[in-house]
Chain A
Amino acid sequence: MRQPIKEVRYHKAAFTLAELLVSVGVLVLLVLLATQLLNSAATVTTLGHKQMDADSQARQVLDRMAIDFAQLVKRSDVDFWAKGTVAPNSVGGPMTGNDQITFYGTVPGYYPPSGSQSPVSLVAYRINSQSQMERMAKGLVWNGVSSTDTPIVFMPVKFSAAFPTSGSGSDPSYEVIGPQVFRFEYCYLRTDGTLSITPPTDVSGIAAIIADIAVIDSKSKVLLSNTQISTLAGQLSDCAANMVPGQLRNNWQNTLNANTTLPRPAVSGIRLYERYFYLSPPIL
């Protein structure tokens, strides 16, 4: 009776200690490798998603701008409030830091609840105090419909007279269009081929508006405070008169690369975009 038991014990599968150690070691190695792989994959995926987030935001904002600039009323006898504009347009000034722009556009807007709607809106872009891009589309009614709603006007009536809060202040018509866009800068490509920070008096003398935006994805943004984002935005330089195409974006990238005060993951989540919005055929 004892013999069969011994046989069973003899035939029972078993590993030696060495085998176990090797197998455990291999297992640990595999787990480590897998973890590394997963980490790398997660990092890549996260980065990809962050980039896609930023891309999506940028595309949304830039496409909206493309539509708005395409519908900008490009004639010399209506007001155009932008960087460097001078009389008879509203005086825009040099605009240090984030830029703003306001113009008439034939895009739908938010109209007053009553009255006959015209096809024209007052459109504006700016960065608010929360480092978010805002857009205004104030729908205008036909002249005479209302004694309080300002209609569409020719110069010499300017935005500053007709819409006192169109350039700054807390106009309720502004809405956040790019919560992750924290820097907005633009300059002009004139029809004579030069880059400029001052537009010609006649808006139709602008071949294109070159807009640069800096976007920080939502995951990176939580790593920074509003103050840090504002400070960083201030460090990204303004358009200068003697720049060449692409130089501003390059300057911004260099500034980001040289930054050592902010968490690297946050800085690396910032994406820069530049786009040309053509307003008129170049030869005109």
Chain B
Amino acid sequence: MKRLLRSRHHSFKGAALMIVLALVVLLTGIALAYFSRTTTDRQLAQSSYNDTSADLLARSALDITVSDLKQEIAIKPVTNGNIQPSRYGVPPITDPQPIPNLIRRSFSGDPTGRTSSVSSGAASASGRFISLARWNSHYLIPRASTTNSIDSTPVSSFTAPDWVLVTPQGPNPEPAPNAVMGRYAFAVYDEGGLIDVNLGGFPTYASLGRPTRPTRRLRPAYPLEESEIMLAACQAPGFTPNHVNASGHTGVPFSLTPNTNHNPTSFGPDILPHGLSVNPTTGNIYGTPTSPGSFTVTLSASNNCGTGTGILNLTIDGLPSPDTTPWPVNLARKGTVAFADVTTLPSTPTVITPTTPVGSMGNFFPTSQINKLMGWRNYATTQQPASASFDNPSFPLASADNYARYFLGATLPFTTGFTAVSTAVVNPPSPGRTDQALMTRQELIKLQRTIGFSQSLLQYLGTFSREQNRPAPDWPQTLAARWDMNYLALAIPDAWIVHPGHSGQGHAWGLQRHTEFAQRFGLLWVNGNFTPGTRLTDPNYYGHWHYIHTLNPCPANPDFFQMIDYAMNQAIGVVDPDHVRNTFNVGAALIDQYDTDDLYDPDPNPPTNGAAGNTITIIDYGGASYAYGIEGMSFDDPNFNSLRPGPYAPFPPPVPATYPLINRRFENVGEFGYAYNPASSTAGKTLDFASSTSHDRAILDFFTYNSAAVRAGTVNLNTRNGPVLASIIRGALLNDPSGENPPTALVSQQDALAAGQAIVQETANTGPALTRADVTRLAGAAAAAVPNLAASDETKQTIARALAEVGQARTWNLMIDVIAQTGKYAPGTPDLTDPSKFTVEGEKRYWLHIALDRDDGTVLGSQLEEVLE
């Protein structure tokens, strides 16, 4: 019985023990599960906290860095010494391995006085450190390696930035270790000195020559005795028959090659109905006419014995169809940087100094890579045939105006500056338009990985740029905006759309915006008196303009002539007693060159009545004083109008043979250099945009093609990247192509690189450019270094035409690279000498793209790019 009871007793005890144990296990399990989840949650929360802390620290670091820059901007007046952000922690430009893009980096002893002596290249407690390759993961520093393997390690002249140690009281260069709560290091780069990859570099045509340009008419050729002597020796070509009748239809492609004899070697351009061009080699007249009407075209053919002429009676049926402006003008709307030829960017050597011989540069962008890099970016290239692919784009159409349409994908009128930031809206949006956007630098680097072009080229390419498009405020009179040279279009007759057959009688029709024309130009139209017998002596015989404003003083919103007068006189401190006459001569010359190609109507009057028909711009600026524009031809010029063989109006007086006349709309403000000024000191009597002492230089800062208040795609004139300037210059024309179709007179790659180097030397050694007007100094420096640029007035001004519109000096486009780490030093750490005592808890890296106006510190635009590594 006792055994039984004992047995039962033990059983109960065991069961109780089991129950207790089970409960304990259960409770432990529940507790563990609870704590496990809590711990995970806590770790997540801690991680989130560290990330947020590092984020706040990095943003604060950016604030501090930007504040430093703004303090520099507060320094006035703007001088050579402070037009650019001060550079520190940077190898000098004379260093064998300069870093052109680097503006500054944090280092112990820098002007901020905040930076510690702890290098970001030193390992922390976890062994982590910021390697040099990581500091250059944006590739803005020249690479040390020339191989194709992925390696961003910079050249040896770059030293890792030092940490700025942050305490609860702010940055401190030598804090107590236990007070440190985080640290950051930074480097600042000149992104404005790069080619904006989103705008620069139009696609290289893989299977075509460069796109054709419209022909222009020659300036009047005056008969010479020599030509008559030569006529006797051999025979000039002629047209057989010398009268050809042909017809076409608007919107339908037209082609005609007249028969000739005596083997002509060239065919002179002539006035052709709008949309048609002539091949100067074959004489083929081709294109798609856009303007209906009956036209009498004088054909000309030449060989070494002389020139023969023929008459083409051309009838174009149909309704007027809209046409684009000449393609270069349309392209310019995208920003003339679109002409930058990035095939001029060398990938070797990776470090280009201002004295690096051009001959040692090589491995330029191959065409195939340009097509991939640039080809898909533009609307032009989205009109692809079915056979095209990402790696094999195709550019099927070479026609000039088609090319322009491709780029813009729109029809007249183009009223919005294409490069305007934020406000650039094409209305309606072009269907199917797919401009490739490289919106972040990391995206550009990813594209490099996809396409496979040289990593070294990334040091020349940026993704963010802005410019405050206004004259420098430190001219004697502050002007709010540059004068929009597109207003010159108001002088263009609109006859073939609105009043067919009635233009050509002076410029009375304009664009039917007479009130605006009077406001912008101060000009009112005066009908001609057509008094018989006075055609050759009285300027009032023809219709002409009358100036209704006064030049001085220059108002806040000046008209065209007031702006020219101010730029050439008061702005630069010149007192010219003949400034009124010179101003109107220059203005009339500009108007006349700009509008000429639109006057295609035949002489509306019978040859015998001697009335009207003049297209020369005549401006009566008061006191019976007249200024005359320079016209490519007059309908009264017997050299061009065989139906009117008599003497023609002697207005204006003949220009010197060296004067380079263009006869089309201007692509950029640099082309104002083609203005004829009888008072000019240059051999060709043009404006002088190629010397530092030029009295015309301020014009470059007061006029603009693209009038958007804030623009993208402009390049810092003071960049230390010679190849960047070279790529822009490479896309410029030494000589206006005239009848040369397609043009071949582009600056050579060698000359462009040499000019870029010369300009960098000029800005680095003599002094940086202060305004766009200083482009004339840079042009002079380039011409002095490159013989081909010094050949003529026109070639000297190539730099002005290339850089004036696309260059800027008053906006700091910077990329700030900041790495911030939160963490703390190990307890008891005596001093900062041992970086391995710092434990990193959170880290954040940002690339801040920012555009700061040098004059007032306005942030014109910014982009914060979080870097994921």
Q: Does A283 contact B63, Cβ atoms closer than 8 Å? A: yes
Query: Is the CB of B435 closer than 8 A to any CB of chain A?
Result: yes
Query: Is the CB of A15 closer than 8 A to any CB of chain B?
Result: no
Q: Does A142 contact B436, Cβ atoms closer than 8 Å? A: yes
Query: Is the CB of A237 closer than 8 A to any CB of chain B?
Result: no
A146: nearest residue on chain B (CB-CB)?
B390
Shortest distance in angstroms between A13's beta carbon and chain B's nearest beta carbon?
13
Asked if A281 meets B66 with Cβ closer than 8 Å, knowing A76-B861, A142-B376, A155-B424, the reply is: yes
Query: Is the CB of B131 closer than 8 A to any CB of chain A?
Result: no
Which of B198, B381, B861, B864 is in CB contact (< 8 Å) with A279? Answer: B864
Query: Is the CB of B439 closer than 8 A to any CB of chain A?
Result: yes
Q: Scan residues 41-80 of chain A and give those whose CB is less than 8 A from a CB of chain B.
A: 52, 55-56, 59, 63, 66, 70-71, 73-78
Shortest distance in angstroms between B20's beta carbon and chain A's nearest beta carbon?
16
Q: Does B390 contact A144, Cβ atoms closer than 8 Å? A: yes
Q: Does A278 contact B382, Cβ atoms closer than 8 Å? A: no
Q: Which of A52, A116, A144, A202 has the most CB of B within 10 A?
A: A144
Asked if A74 meets B864 with Cβ closer than 8 Å, knowing A106-B440, A154-B437, the reply is: yes
Shortest distance in angstroms between A77's beta carbon and chain B's nearest beta carbon?
6
Shortest distance in angstroms between B74's beta carbon and chain A's nearest beta carbon?
14
Contacts of A73 in B (CB 8 A): 439-440, 863
Q: Does A144 contact B421, Cβ atoms closer than 8 Å? A: no
Shortest distance in angstroms between B726's beta carbon and chain A's nearest beta carbon?
27
Contacts of A74 in B (CB 8 A): 862-865
Query: Is the CB of A161 closer than 8 A to any CB of chain B?
Result: yes
Contact with A along B27-52 (1 / 0, CB 8 A): 00000000001000100110010010
* Interface of B (DSSP majority class): mixed
B30: nearest residue on chain A (CB-CB)?
A45
- Bound-state Cα–Cα, A151 to B434, Å: 7
Contacts of B447 in A (CB 8 A): 118, 142
Q: Does B712 contact A77, Cβ atoms closer than 8 Å? A: yes
Contact with A along B412-440 (1 / 0, CB 8 A): 00000000011111100100011111011
Contacts of B62 in A (CB 8 A): 281, 284
Q: Does B422 contact A201, Cβ atoms closer than 8 Å? A: yes
Query: Is the CB of B55 closer than 8 A to any CB of chain A?
Result: yes
Asked if A144 meets B381 with Cβ closer than 8 Å, knowing A52-B37, A152-B437, A278-B55, the reply is: yes
B861: nearest residue on chain A (CB-CB)?
A76
B58: nearest residue on chain A (CB-CB)?
A281
Which of A55, A106, A142 is in CB contact (< 8 Å) with B442? Answer: A106
A116: nearest residue on chain B (CB-CB)?
B450
Contacts of A154 in B (CB 8 A): 198, 435, 437, 439
Q: Which of B446, B861, B864 has the most CB of A within 10 A?
A: B864
Contacts of B450 in A (CB 8 A): 116, 142
Contacts of A118 in B (CB 8 A): 443, 446-447
Contacts of B382 in A (CB 8 A): 143-144
Query: Is the CB of B777 closer than 8 A to any CB of chain A?
Result: no
Asked if A202 meets B861 with Cβ closer than 8 Å, knowing A52-B41, A55-B41, A154-B198, the reply is: yes
Query: Is the CB of B393 closer than 8 A to any CB of chain A?
Result: yes
Q: Does A78 contact B864, Cβ atoms closer than 8 Å? A: no
- Bound-state Cα–Cα, A171 to B381, Å: 29
B425: nearest residue on chain A (CB-CB)?
A156
- Bound-state Cα–Cα, A56 to B37, Å: 11
Contact with B along A138-167 (1 / 0, CB 8 A): 000011110000111111111001000000
Q: Does B390 contact A158, Cβ atoms closer than 8 Å? A: no
B377: nearest residue on chain A (CB-CB)?
A143
Query: Is the CB of A263 closer than 8 A to any CB of chain B?
Result: no
Q: Does A116 contact B443, Cβ atoms closer than 8 Å? A: no
Query: Is the CB of B384 closer than 8 A to any CB of chain A?
Result: yes
How many residues does chain A have at the interface if contact means C-beta atoms less than 8 Å apart?
47
- Bound-state Cα–Cα, A73 to B422, Å: 14
Q: Scan residues 385-413 of chain B and give those whose CB is less than 8 A from a CB of chain A.
A: 388-390, 393
Query: Is the CB of B59 closer than 8 A to any CB of chain A?
Result: yes
Contact with B along A254-283 (1 / 0, CB 8 A): 000000000000000000000000111111
Q: Does B863 contact A153, Cβ atoms closer than 8 Å? A: no
- Bound-state Cα–Cα, A106 to B803, Å: 34
Which of B59, B435, B862, B863 is in CB contact (< 8 Å) with A278? Answer: B59
Shortest distance in angstroms between B865's beta carbon and chain A's nearest beta carbon?
8
Contacts of A70 in B (CB 8 A): 55, 866
Asked if A204 meets B861 with Cβ closer than 8 Å, knowing A119-B446, A142-B436, A144-B436, the reply is: yes
Q: Does A281 contact B376, Cβ atoms closer than 8 Å? A: no
Q: Scan residues 197-238 of chain A and give those whose CB is less than 8 A from a CB of chain B.
A: 201-202, 204
Shortest distance in angstroms between A18's beta carbon and chain B's nearest beta carbon?
26
A154: nearest residue on chain B (CB-CB)?
B437
Query: Is the CB of A120 closer than 8 A to any CB of chain B?
Result: yes
Query: Is the CB of B464 closer than 8 A to any CB of chain A?
Result: yes
Query: Is the CB of B859 closer than 8 A to any CB of chain A?
Result: yes
- Bound-state Cα–Cα, A130 to B245, Å: 76
- Bound-state Cα–Cα, A55 to B44, Å: 12
A278: nearest residue on chain B (CB-CB)?
B59
Q: Does A284 contact B859, Cβ atoms closer than 8 Å? A: yes
- Bound-state Cα–Cα, A99 to B41, Å: 29
Q: Does A281 contact B381, Cβ atoms closer than 8 Å? A: no
Q: Does B434 contact A76, Cβ atoms closer than 8 Å? A: no
Q: Does B424 contact A120, Cβ atoms closer than 8 Å? A: no
Which of A55, A153, A204 is in CB contact (< 8 Å) with B862? Answer: A204
Q: Does A76 contact B422, Cβ atoms closer than 8 Å? A: yes
Query: Is the CB of B850 closer than 8 A to any CB of chain A?
Result: yes
Contacts of A87 in B (CB 8 A): 425
Query: Is the CB of A104 closer than 8 A to any CB of chain B?
Result: yes
- Bound-state Cα–Cα, A279 to B56, Å: 11
A107: nearest residue on chain B (CB-CB)?
B868
Q: Which of A77, A158, A278 has the most CB of B within 10 A?
A: A77
Q: Does A281 contact B864, Cβ atoms closer than 8 Å? A: yes
Query: Is the CB of A178 closer than 8 A to any CB of chain B?
Result: no
Query: Is the CB of A84 closer than 8 A to any CB of chain B?
Result: no
Query: Is the CB of B67 closer than 8 A to any CB of chain A?
Result: yes
- Bound-state Cα–Cα, A52 to B36, Å: 13
- Bound-state Cα–Cα, A153 to B66, Å: 30
Q: Scan residues 832-869 of chain B and give those whose CB is less than 8 A from a CB of chain A.
A: 848-850, 859, 861-866, 868
Query: Is the CB of B375 closer than 8 A to any CB of chain A?
Result: yes
A-B contact pairs, 19 of them (CB 8 A): A63-B48, A71-B868, A75-B849, A76-B861, A88-B422, A116-B390, A118-B446, A120-B439, A143-B376, A144-B390, A153-B433, A153-B435, A153-B436, A155-B425, A202-B422, A278-B56, A281-B59, A281-B63, A282-B63
**Can you list the 6 inter-chain pairs with the closest CB atoms, starting with the nearest?**
A143-B436, A144-B376, A75-B863, A143-B376, A154-B437, A76-B422
